Structure 1
């Protein structure tokens, strides 16, 4: 099952379990119809599907808006160099796959082991921390006045959207799966080095993508920035996001136990409680 924390687990026990090697894989999706398509809070699955479609439309609107924002000035080719836009694209793909996965469950009743279930899980494992990482780094390292609406939406609202989906869903976020986000981050670092080696420039004519990654003028500073960012991901961001999801899982389990208790309670007892 994807949501694999039980209500009896202490936080420390659940945290330590995340470091087992068998947690790295994506093979345990036997209960995908519940784990990837059910909301512990929105009981009507079709209503939850509509919520996810709305979130998909919102992210798609942000994707189009950010593309047009650079495109109107003839700078669209530079849109692809930024990690913000990479992460926005991954988030868009995640919501598209999540909606498709849920639709297949509702309309087709598909069995487990389908490729789109794995795709949805992998994309979430990258998009969830990526959106938070991009938001934090933008406001700490990149932002300079004046404040622009598009910057707020692509460095904040995008994270709120995927956080809302995560908190509403029953899909697990394994701490060990943070390694896949780290691989994503390393790919971007390699891309920034290729960008520098090719003597490419951003839309302002600078020999770097971000000033904090200026390998030409401050290679040492760039290395320190990368090291701090990666350590921050390992020590702060991934455990924090896991903790948020763990708390949701505990609330979900308690809600399920309460519902099961009500279901198994004799009808006369339920009627007496309802009349109080």
Structure 2
């Protein structure tokens, strides 16, 4: 629905918000597939893990899910924070679809945080580089887009006002700020992950190494 309503001759795809929400959707679909395979024990996935005396080998599909999950989790929080703090009401264009804006700038983080609190997925400190890599890629994309004369759907010569390359100093400050936000959010999430592990071991009667994930 977002693509159909906001396509605007392809301008839909220039926004980080839509990149992030698309990644959320793909991540959740892969998650649904993984949970379904586990629940119905397809290819004896659950049986092999429960019967094995050693830690089960991580499947390729689960590795892809883990990679997307790490990238999408931090990206969702960054998108919500940057939009509501720095961009909401300051985009120099009318808000045509406020309901969609709330979904793509708020529900994305809610969805990923609920998933993070419910699913026993491990976090690694160094995996913050996935979110940073995507931020670098988008940063370079905005520069190339500007140099090619790209505009938003209302003719403004930028994708976001805080990434207007007519003011490169502001772009650099934005870039550094987003990197710092990624680090702060990831350290907070890592702390919550450790707290989840502690509570799980303290209160789960049937705890086993396999009960906290396959990775």
**Class of the TM-score when normalised by the shorter of the 2 chains:** 0.7 to 0.9
Do structure 1's residue 167 and structure 2's residue 112 form an aligned pair?
no
Question: Among 55, 62, 67, which residue is 1:117 paired with?
Answer: 62
Deviation, structure 1 residue 81: 0.4
Q: Write out per-residue CA displacement over residues 129-163 of structure 1, whole angstroms, 9 at most, x where no aligned residue.
A: 00000000001111008692211111111111111
Structure 2 partner of 1:77: 10
Q: In the TM superposition, what whole-angstrom CA distance separates every residue of 1:45-88 from its partner, at most 9, and x where no partner exists?
A: xxxxxxxxxxxxxxxxxxx3x223314xxx15111000011111
Contact 2:78 2:181 in 1 (8 A): no
- 1:185-237 CA-to-partner distances (Å, cap 9, x unmatched) read 11111111111111111101011100000012x11111111112212222x11
Residue equivalent to 1:32: none
| Residue ranges of structure 1 left out of the alignment (5+ in a row) | 1-63, 261-276
The answer for the alignment partner of 2:22 in structure 1 is 89
SS at match of 1:109: helix
Residue 141 of structure 1 pairs with residue 76 of structure 2: no
Q: Do the aligned residues in 1 keep the contact of 2:149 with 2:157 (CA within 8 Å)?
A: yes
TM-score normalised by length of structure 1: 0.64
Question: SS state of the match for residue 155, structure 2?
Answer: coil
Partner of 1:104: 37
* 1:97-140 deviation digits (Å, cap 9, x = unpaired): 11222222332223633210100100000010000000000011
Tell which structure's C-alpha radius of gyration is larger. Answer: 1
Alignment of 1:239-254 (within 5 A): 239-254=187-202
| Counterpart secondary structure, 2:150 | coil
Partner of 1:221: 170
The answer (yes or no) to whether the contact 1:67–1:76 under 8 Å persists in 2 is: no
Match of 2:54 in 1: none
Q: 1:230 aligns with which of 166, 179, 184?
A: 179
Change (3 A) 1:68 1:204: same
Contact 1:196 1:215 in 2 (8 A): yes
The count of aligned residue pairs is: 190
User: TM-score scaled by structure 2?
Assistant: 0.82
Q: Distance in 2 between matches of 1:127 and 1:228?
A: 18
Q: Distance in 1 between matches of 2:190 and 2:164?
A: 32
What is the alpha-carbon distance in structure 1 between the residues aligned to residue 81 and residue 130 of structure 2?
Answer: 19
CA distance in 2, matches of 1:231, 1:153: 25
For 1:255 and 1:184, how far apart are their aligned partners in 2?
37
Unpaired stretches in structure 2, ≥5 consecutive residues: 49-56, 208-215
Query: Residue 131 of structure 2 contacts residue 182 of structure 2 at CA under 8 Å; is this kept in 1?
Result: no
